[in-house]
Amino acid sequence: MNRRTLSSIVAASLAACGPDALDRAPPSLETPEVAAALAIPEPTSIERHIRVLADDSLGGRAPGTAGFEGATRYVEETLRALGLAPAGVDGTYRQPVPLLGSTVVAATSALTVRRGGAVTELVYGEDFWLSPDPSREDVSVTGLVAFVGYGVSAPALGYDDYAGIDVSGKIVATISGAPPAFPSDERAYYSSGSVKAAEAARRGAVGLMVFSAPDDPRFRWEVSVARAAGGSFTWLDASGQPPGGASPIRGSASLNRSAVDALFADAPIPLDEVFRRAASSTPQGFDLAVEATVRTVSDHRRVPSHNVVARLEGSDERLRGENVVYVAHVDHLGTGVPVDGDSIYNGAHDNASGVAILLEIARAFSSLAMPPRRSVVFLFPTAEEWGLLGSDYFAENPTVPASSLVAALSLDMPFLFHPLLDIVPYGADHSSLSDAIGAAARRLALDIGPDPIPEQVLFIRSDHFSFIRRGVPALFLKSGFRTGSSTRDGAEINAAWRRDVYHTPRDEADQGFDFVAGVTHAQVNFLTGYVVAMQGARPRWNRGDFFGGLFGG
């Protein structure tokens, strides 16, 4: 008996058992149709897409620039050539995303610390930098400073830095990140700056200061200052205001170690002990004997931008109204502080690689003789680098019914520097999408591993998280550290790239990409979405899951 005949018998048996059994049954991934689709992605195509999108002529693809326009036009033309339907607004491939750009005016902004009668004026760019305020162009705040550990209150995890301390009317100082004892994805969630700010505001704080532990691998002061000089974006609602309106937090500062030393001079607990307690996941909070004043002056400008959206309509009359979303952001950082004489932040890996792979996934889906049962949306958002803004705008204002979104899969810096032998599926632990990724990995003989770098808090750092916040189960697939070579250490390759290349002009097309690994990324993501699009039952949050309980209600 051949494999196809066996599959037909199984399908007939399931149908005889009723629609519930059929809905739960995974589709076969061993059919000739699936095999043909898996043969569609090509290394040369992925390389071509990356080289086009990361070319110097596009100037780093910052929102609102000619380079971003050129990149999205290339994506649109590729989707149109594949025969995919436009799924933006007014019959186009575009969804306008109104952005507000904000840049701190360093010369008139300030941070001062008062201890007793002594006032210390800190130096912008050396001791601190400020986040611009998107609602107010000139805002000041003065308050006593309270230290609240990581700034985390997580009763469900038995942890609360705010226990026993009143921060009403105060400026809170926190360590970046979250307790290392937390599970990986929960640690990432509580590391979020917006989560920390919301918790501080809920408790009556009026300002926020954040600083890094000495061993934080993400701490690169010069890079942070250079990035901050480029400003930030937020999207605007229908009334022209940032979502949520003006924040009660009236000043937000990031501190270098020199500023931290100024804050903690004569603190009740020495700074070294503070860091030791943080490393051991011990909650802590106490008042500091200082008062701080933060003045933030910001320049505001309107920046029109857009997402690119296409759709493949499903084949099942009952399910085609539901949508599986693939997402890969087009934008990068544009031009900025020169490094070795180069000021173009090309973003070849971040995220021309993800866009290239998603275009190949779209080509694979469009090659199917019969589309999957559910529809598939291909979303290429703007302004991911400024806080997942394009995907957040789409998730809040989808161009398809919000209730139709069943799952999201993100492609962002998949890591193309060695063969893809194992994957880390961020988000798989939280929903039934683990079944889909498991089936896809088995089909391609890929191993699945846990998060090898939880300190990088990757779970919240890509566009899938915009959908999780709206209760939609989502996945973010990254490469593991296996290289297939005894002389190449995947962990060392990853760490070196993040240290020397990430968010610098060195992220260019010629950096030794493994384009065959890019094909494997396309295949495993295609198969995962295909399983979801073919199964009758919608993905569901696991019973008692942290994120399902937080967002999935």
Here the contacts of 116-125 (C-beta below 8 Å, separation 24 or greater) are: 120/262, 122/258, 122/259, 122/262, 125/225
Q: Please check whether residues 404 and 491 belong to one and the same domain.
A: yes
Q: Please check whether residues 205 and 68 belong to one and the same domain.
A: no
Please report whether residue 7 resides in a domain.
no
What CATH number is associated with residue 407?
3.40.630.10
* pLDDT tens-digit readout, 396-450: 999 999 999 999 999 999 999 999 999 999 999 999 999 999 999 999 999 999 9
Q: Please check whether residues 375 and 292 belong to one and the same domain.
A: no
Ranges of H-type helices in 331-425: 353-367, 389-396
Q: Please check whether residues 153 and 216 belong to one and the same domain.
A: yes
Q: Which residue has the tokens 């009334």?
A: 239
- Residue 403's identity, in one-letter code, is S
Q: State the residue range of the domain holding 317.
A: 40-81+313-551
For residue 65, what pLDDT is reported?
A: 97
- Using the Cα atoms of residue 328, residue 426, residue 345 and residue 418 in order, give the sign of their dihedral: negative
pLDDT classification of 552: cutoffs 50, 70, 90: confident
Q: Please check whether residues 290 and 355 belong to one and the same domain.
A: no
For residue 51, what pLDDT is reported?
A: 98
For residue 24, what pLDDT is reported?
A: 61
Q: Please check whether residues 398 and 534 belong to one and the same domain.
A: yes
Q: Which of 94-108, 231-245, 435-449, 516-530 has the lowest mean pLDDT?
A: 231-245
Q: Please check whether residues 258 and 162 belong to one and the same domain.
A: yes
For residue 393, what pLDDT is reported?
A: 98
- Average pLDDT of the residues in 493-516: 95
Give the mean pLDDT of the chain.
94
Evaluate if pTM is beyond 0.85.
yes
Q: What angle do CA 20, 23, 25 make, to 5 degrees?
A: 110
> % helix / strand / coil in the chain, to the nearest 5?
35, 25, 40
- Average pLDDT of the residues in 38-63: 98
Q: Is the pLDDT of residue 530 over 90?
A: yes
Q: Please check whether residues 463 and 543 belong to one and the same domain.
A: yes
Please report whether residue 24 resides in a domain.
no
Q: Is the pLDDT of residue 318 over 80?
A: yes
Q: Which of 277, 301, 325 represents a domain boundary (last residue)?
A: 301
* pLDDT tens-digit readout, 144-195: 999 999 999 999 999 999 999 999 999 999 999 999 999 999 999 999 999 9
Please report whether residue 93 resides in a domain.
no
Neighbours of 422 (CB within 10 A): 17
Q: Please check whether residues 287 and 392 belong to one and the same domain.
A: no
- Using the Cα atoms of residue 53, residue 56, residue 59 and residue 62 in order, give the sign of their dihedral: positive
Q: Which of 1-15, 261-275, 338-352, 503-517 has the lowest mean pLDDT?
A: 1-15
Q: Please check whether residues 379 and 437 belong to one and the same domain.
A: yes
Q: For the chain, count helices (H), then strands (E).
A: 17, 21
For residue 355, what pLDDT is reported?
A: 98
* pLDDT tens-digit readout, 148-159: 999 999 999 999
Q: Which residue has the tokens 């209730």?
A: 403
Q: Which residue has the tokens 């990757």?
A: 458
* pLDDT tens-digit readout, 2-34: 433 333 333 444 444 444 445 667 799 999 999
pLDDT classification of 335: cutoffs 50, 70, 90: very high
Q: Please check whether residues 257 and 329 belong to one and the same domain.
A: no
* pLDDT tens-digit readout, 100-123: 999 999 999 999 999 988 999 999
Nearest to 352 by CA among 58, 66, 88, 87: 58
Q: How many domains does the chain have?
A: 2
- The DSSP-derived string for 15-38 is HHH-HHHHHHSPPPS-SHHHHHHH
Among residues of the chain, what percentage have pLDDT more than 90?
A: 90
